[in-house]
Chains A and B, each alone.
Chain A
Amino acid sequence: MSPSGPVVGSGVDFSGPGHSARMIGSPPLEAPVQATGVVKRYGQRTVLDRVSLSVKPGITGLVGPNGAGKSTLVKAILGLVRLAEGSVRVFGIDPRREPRAVRRFVGVVPEDECAVPGLSGVEMVRYAARLSGIPGIESLRRAHEVLDWCNAGQERYRPVETLSVGMRQKISFAAAIVHDPRLVILDEPTNGLDPIERRAMLGRLTTLAREHGKTILISTHVLPDVQAICDSVIVLAAGRVRLTGSIRALTHPPTPQERLEVAGPVDELVRRLVARGIPARRAHSADFFPTAAGSAGRFCAAVGTMAAEDGAQEGVVLLQLSTPDALAGMWAEVGHLGIRVRSLTAACRPFEEVFLEALQAPPLESLHAAP
């Protein structure tokens, strides 16, 4: 299936006439999910307003404030709601016309805990497998296999209503993937998980996407999760697409920028770098900078000014080292001032900052309406 209109970007792209202005990313790929001009109204309220997007293989984050229309978009993908206008295609199939065919390819982890009271965890996953068409005994074998992969342990034999929130989330995830879907949709998949399980869950999603070629769409409010594992993102607000693109492209600053974490006279270092013609500034206390190598990002507001263990002042300097001379100059000044370098990494913008900016921005359609 080839999506209609121009498709740009590595993961999620807004496609439609003239909508490439904010497309950032890599070459086009086949889109498992393609929505074109989707309008959904509940009475007088328009929940989705001319939403056009495509979801590419990989992990895509669907983010937006409450009431943005994320759940409705997911329902539209599953063919559960009747659209006022527009169309959705999932692997080239119209979910409204052939919902069963679409749902064979799709696994869903809903935000709400949903389970059949009275069934144990493994029975619940098996039930999901059988409803998806996996026959009798094979469904049991497959349920255990997936639960093993999800590290469900012996808890799987307890009734679902007695399980912890985290365990129920695992069961729900296992039920969603037990039939080996090509597209997995997750609504707040890390809700209720402790840090270890959260990391494990993100790892499983990455495995599914990277090693098994699944397309994963995550609807979440946890922006660090999005930044940690998503290839691309859709920002939805008030029923409209505000921003789409690859995470890497969106979170890197417009110009190459480095992040230098040091202990010593930070302000003096900044002054000398500027005097050498190297663009540099000290990080504001409100800034936070997830490192490019970091998995989930971390707040670094405190690094603006803090005392190191030996009493030296610690800080973060943002600078632009565009030439080898600039790099040599930086090292010279660091050596001259006796500054200890903690790290030198490529800086990137926190996704939260990108997200908040996107919410302030007009909808993508407005950009094209303007002359």
Chain B
Amino acid sequence: MPLHDVGYRPWQGRRSGSLAAIFVIATTGLTLAWTSRWLRRAVFFAWSPALVFAGSFFVFEQAIDEGRLDSIRESARLGRNVDGVGILGRVIAGSLGPVDDPADRHLGPEERANKARRMVWARLMLAFMRSPQAILLAIVVGLVAPTLVSRDLRVKAWLIYFTRPVGKFEYIAGKLLILGLLVASITMLPALSLWVAGVAVSPSLWVAVTTWDLPLRIIVASLALAIPTVLMALAYSSVTAESRIASFAWFATWAACWIAHTSLSTADMARLVSDDSVASQPSVPGQFSVEEGAVPTSRANVRRRAPAEDLGETIVDFIQGLEGRGPGDGRRPNAQRARWFSRVTGVDATIDRWAWLSPYHALGVIQAWVFGIEHRWEAILPPLLSLGSVSVVSAVVLWWRVDAPARA
């Protein structure tokens, strides 16, 4: 008999409510997931882009502090590397418009700096959330999510939950919380840290007040990023007992949708390039354009055009860039790089009409909306409906599947 065996004793303590099970499932799931070396590496790596962006915040705030904003903007407009941080210059050039913007003439230096700060910070945050973090999110979720439900189905661990006071809601919420916390750790937390870093390196802590809405936007953008992706990943996990299949389906979805998006965009490009009437148009309104210094997010500055027409012009510009011919005086930065970056930062004003097809691109549009950079419903609605549909269908599948073995 074990030394401490006191025999069976009744237990009459106070029990916690059913909702506590969500926390229990989440913490245990996270603990188990964290034992994966690859996950730890991925999460660690996911914070590294924040360092680069923190550098951009620092340079920008230094420029403001030294009153060099206009010179930076002018440098960026001319396509020069700004203080060694090329990202920042292009963001500023795309964000702030011309140096002698008539709209800014009545503003004082402090107000101009605040306006510049809000715009540049929002675009940097969008670039951060959309480009490195969204891709890393797909990887991190792909490492963890496929096993969360499928393994329970395979080893019949669902019996552990559904023979106890745990309902489907608590089970699903617990699993979602595992992924939600992971997603938050690689999107929301680094972005909030960036904001804190920005405030810390700014001339005054009052900057926190002038940019108070950014943390809220970061949280909403993270939720927008997390909800559809996490639901979709768990739905995949719930339809099979083989986590390998769920994992394959997850990555295949991202890759296939990306390829489909690219293919359709390229098809449009080919069609429009062959159109002489379009190709002959020299101007590129609304496109990332240092020559024009447009502020594309402003409705006033974007000529109302058909999406295909905008895209056509983008492509023409793209090709001209590849050929080394800018539409203006040839001082344009590399068009391919510019186009990618302009889209990531929301400077590109063309409507990506196939964005709804690819989770990555659809999430990008929604995040641009959340950060106040995209306002056009014709651009927002298709991705919004697409992601909404994916979320609803995933939630229904998940709800139906998690206790399917119990009903069988």
A132 with B8: CB separation less than 8 A: no
Q: Which residue of A lies closest to B161 (CB)?
A: A131
B15 with A128: CB separation less than 8 A: no
User: Given A134-B11, A146-B8, A106 and B157 touching (CB < 8 A)?
Assistant: no
Q: How far is the CA of A178 from the CA of B166 in the complex (A)?
A: 16
Interface size on A, residues (CB 8 A): 50
User: Given A81-B406, A112-B156, A127-B28, A134 and B15 touching (CB < 8 A)?
Assistant: yes
A153 with B28: CB separation less than 8 A: no
User: Given A110-B159, A148-B2, A153-B2, A131 and B167 touching (CB < 8 A)?
Assistant: no
0 or 1 for each of A195-216: is its CB under 8 Å from B? (1 = yes): 0000000001001100110000
> Is the contact region of chain B dominated by helix, strand, or loop, or is it mixed?
loop
Closest CB in chain A relative to B330 CB, distance in Å: 60
B16 with A145: CB separation less than 8 A: no
B151 with A75: CB separation less than 8 A: no
Closest CB in chain B relative to A181 CB, distance in Å: 10
Stretch from A2-10, A115-123, A228-236 at the B interface: A115-123
User: Given A114-B155, A138-B13, A180-B12, A106 and B163 touching (CB < 8 A)?
Assistant: yes
Residues of B within 8 A of A99 (CB): 165, 167
Closest CB in chain A relative to B147 CB, distance in Å: 9
Q: Which residue of B lies closest to A154 (CB)?
A: B2
Residues of B within 8 A of A145 (CB): 4, 6, 9
* A149 interface residue (CB < 8 Å to B): yes
Stretch from B18-26, B228-236, B334-342 at the A interface: B18-26
* A353 interface residue (CB < 8 Å to B): no
* B209 interface residue (CB < 8 Å to A): no
Contact of A149 among B7, B15, B17, B152 (CB under 8 A): B7
A144 with B4: CB separation less than 8 A: yes
A212 with B15: CB separation less than 8 A: no
Residues of A within 8 A of B12 (CB): 180
B8 with A212: CB separation less than 8 A: yes
Q: How far is the CA of A149 from the CA of B408 in the complex (A)?
A: 35
Q: Which residue of B lies closest to A153 (CB)?
A: B2
User: Given A146-B8, A149-B8, A180-B10, A135 and B16 touching (CB < 8 A)?
Assistant: yes
Q: Which residue of B lies closest to A133 (CB)?
A: B15
Closest CB in chain B relative to A137 CB, distance in Å: 11
A118 with B35: CB separation less than 8 A: yes
* B37 interface residue (CB < 8 Å to A): no
Q: Which residue of A lies closest to B163 (CB)?
A: A108
* A104 interface residue (CB < 8 Å to B): yes
User: Given A80-B162, A128-B160, A133-B165, A148 and B6 touching (CB < 8 A)?
Assistant: yes
Closest CB in chain B relative to A327 CB, distance in Å: 43
B24 with A115: CB separation less than 8 A: no
Known pairs A131-B160, A149-B7; list 13 more (Cβ under 8 Å).
A100-B167, A104-B15, A108-B163, A117-B155, A127-B28, A131-B21, A131-B164, A133-B17, A134-B16, A149-B5, A179-B164, A204-B8, A211-B8
A→B interface (CB under 8 Å):
42, 75, 78, 80-82, 99-101, 103-104, 106-108, 110, 112-119, 127-128, 130-135, 138, 142, 144-146, 148-149, 151, 153, 175, 177-180, 204, 207-208, 211-212
6 closest A-B pairs (Cβ-Cβ)?
A133-B15, A108-B163, A180-B11, A100-B165, A114-B156, A80-B406
